Copies of this chain bind each other. A is one copy, B any other.
Amino acid sequence: MMRGNLFAVAVDLVVLTVRHDQLHVLLVRRGERPYESHWALPGGFVRADEDLGDTAARELAAQTGTATQGAVQGHLEQLGGYAAPGRDPRGRVLSMGYLALLPDIPDPETTNGPTAAFLPVEDVYGLAFDHDVILADGVERARAKLEYTTLAAAFCPPEFTVTDLRRVYEAVWRTEIDPRNFQRKVTSTPGFLIPTATRVTGGRGRPPQLFRRGPATALHPPMLREPVSMAHATT
């Protein structure tokens, strides 16, 4: 029975969050060869009794703290497989990329493990292995999914304002969105936002309404990030 070559299988996480109106990604500084002292995506090898999603969830909890998992409704999904020959000098390694979207949480404590920090996605390049590619794929996936899903709320804390949500879109897409039209769009989508009794206090202007995530997952019709109106172009 021909079984082909054997691979080590790892999971690498693209953990995104929005901090200071900028998209950030969680990176770890490698403490061993290869790529020692380079920044890399957090990840690890799949254990004997684990499915891929189990490994991803375990690594995510290990990197961000278990407390994050239960309380905050983040998002974790598979991105794709990366297995180019030579991508790891140690041998044949297939890496499954996973995409995680989280609210803005503090940088992980650097107690026993390696240094870990959220860095602005724009400033990131020269990661270890082919992690630049995996990161780019993850960011593009996140950008695309904001269009037709309600996943932007995964970047927000359990209770948030419409302005918070809009800043997520603006940070991820690097665009500006009209606050009035945005308000109309998201509040008129049934099941997207559930109003909360409480209001924010202490701000500068009128206190905004607080919302929780609703049960809706799809956005129909989608939110468009590009100017449409390219129909009737003379081609």
Residues of A within 8 A of B (CB): 1-10, 32, 44-52, 78, 80-81, 83-85, 90, 92, 94, 96, 148, 188-191, 220-222, 224, 226, 228, 230-233, 235
**Residues of chain B lying within 8 A (CB to CB) of residue A226:** 220
| Chain copies in complex | 2
Report 27 cross-chain contacts, Cβ distance below 8 Å, ordered by A residue: A1-B32, A1-B90, A2-B45, A3-B8, A3-B90, A4-B8, A4-B9, A4-B44, A4-B46, A5-B9, A6-B6, A6-B8, A7-B7, A7-B94, A9-B83, A46-B83, A49-B85, A78-B81, A80-B81, A81-B96, A83-B96, A188-B231, A188-B232, A189-B231, A190-B235, A220-B224, A220-B230
**Residues of chain B lying within 8 A (CB to CB) of residue A3:** 8, 45, 90
The minimal Cβ–Cβ distance linking A9 to chain B, given in whole angstroms, is 5
The minimal Cβ–Cβ distance linking A13 to chain B, given in whole angstroms, is 14
